[in-house]
Structure 1
Amino acid sequence: SKPVENNILLTQIKVLLRRERLLKETSNILVEAQQPPLVKEVKEIIHRHLGNPDLSVDLIAESLATSSATLYRNWKKVSELSINKTIAKMRFDEALKLIREEELNITEASYVVGFREVSYFSRAFKKEFGLSPQEYLKEH
């Protein structure tokens, strides 16, 4: 295996451990308690699978033992954002945290949050925020 792959694996392990710790610490936050149960469940599933490039509505539906159609229908009742937008938002938020707090570079962070290609991460990021990740980090 390549040294870069080892570094990415080590980083992913650190991030997973950090996520588990944060999930436990934040499970009682008032804002979370006020969310509808479906939103909390879906966000927990997304959080657990954030690094999986194959994370999808189908995977989430399967985790909830329901169909994708039923999940879409019920989700529309409780959230203004689509599930796919929610996944993207959570991935971008986590990537920014990793870059700022864990001092990962953009490439490492993009892989850790489930993007197979840093170029796709950068394009999707720019589409979402109107700035490249580098520009966004300089301004924020």
Structure 2
Amino acid sequence: QDERTSHIPIILLTAFSSHETKIEGLMEGADVYLTKPFSIVELRVRISNLLQNRQRLKETFLRQMLVEPGRLDSQSQNVNEEFLNRVIETVEKHLSDNKFNAEKLSREIGMSRMQLYRKIRGVTNLTVHEFIRTIRLKKAAQLLQQKRMTITEVAYEVGFNDLTYFARCFRKQYDKSPSEFISG
């Protein structure tokens, strides 16, 4: 599967109805295989189910990114999880670089900015900028919990050079200021 498009659901509507062609279509990556003639009601239900499943997956990825450190944890890595883990590792490698942005990330990943934007948005519902900021803030929360660095040191360590902006972003993500977060 192509990681640039793996987040897009595939529905095959075909006249081929043999068991073998159905299996082949599903093995090639189709999410749904419907043969003609097909029921519009069934198509709508399957589309609705696909979209609900994708939304739940986005929410799971986002929850893991906000709460859990490091790589996304999953028993069965799929293409989207592998892609996100690669992006997370790349962002973490450049965490203290306050000039690291979507342009630099797209070059490191080997995708155009638009492909990266569509992929990140499709999998997480975040823009690339929001995604990078989320990873920075998650690392900041980890460092603050360790209580080995000051808030200022943590902010600079994760790529924020404006402490007011850091505090505002931190509060927005964790519903607490960095100092409230430290004190529990």
TM-score, normalized by length of structure 1? 0.69
Contact 1:61/1:71, CA 8 A, preserved across alignment: yes
Candidates 74, 90, 104, aligned match of 2:119 = 74
Instruction: Tell me the alpha carbon deviations over residues 82-138 of structure 1, each in whole angstroms, 9 at most, x when there is no partner.
Output: 322222221112112212225101000000000112222112212323321112222
More helix by share: 1
The aligned residue for residue 59 of structure 1 is 104
Pair 1:100-2:145 in alignment: yes
Structure number with greater Rg is: 2
* DSSP-derived class of the 2:74 partner: helix
Query: Cα gap change, 1:32/1:89 in structure 2, threshold over 3 Å: closer, same or farther?
Result: farther
Instruction: Please name the residue that 2:63 is paired with.
Output: none
Aligned residues: 114
| CA deviation string 1:32-81 (max 9, x = no partner) | 86252321221111111111101111111011222111111122232233
- The question of 1:121 aligning with 2:136 is answered no
Q: Which moved more, 1:53-62 or 1:99-108?
A: 99-108
Q: Distance in 2 between matches of 1:42 and 1:101?
A: 25
Verify: 1:85 aligned to 2:130, yes or no. Answer: yes
Q: Quote the Cα distance in structure 2 between the aligned partners of 1:107 and 1:32.
A: 37
User: RMSD value over aligned CA atoms?
Assistant: 2.5
SS state of the match for residue 140, structure 2? Answer: helix
Unpaired runs of at least 5, structure 1: 1-25
Counterpart residue number, 1:42: 87
- Would you say the 8 A contact 2:147–2:182 is kept in 1? no
- What SS does the corresponding residue of 1:71 show, helix, strand or coil? helix
Name the structure 2 match of 1:13.
Answer: none
Structure 2: segments with no counterpart, 5+ residues: 1-69
Name whichever structure is richer in strand by fraction. 2
**Deviation >6 Å, runs of 4+:** none
* TM-score for the superposition, normalised by structure 2: 0.54
Secondary structure of 1:44's aligned partner: helix
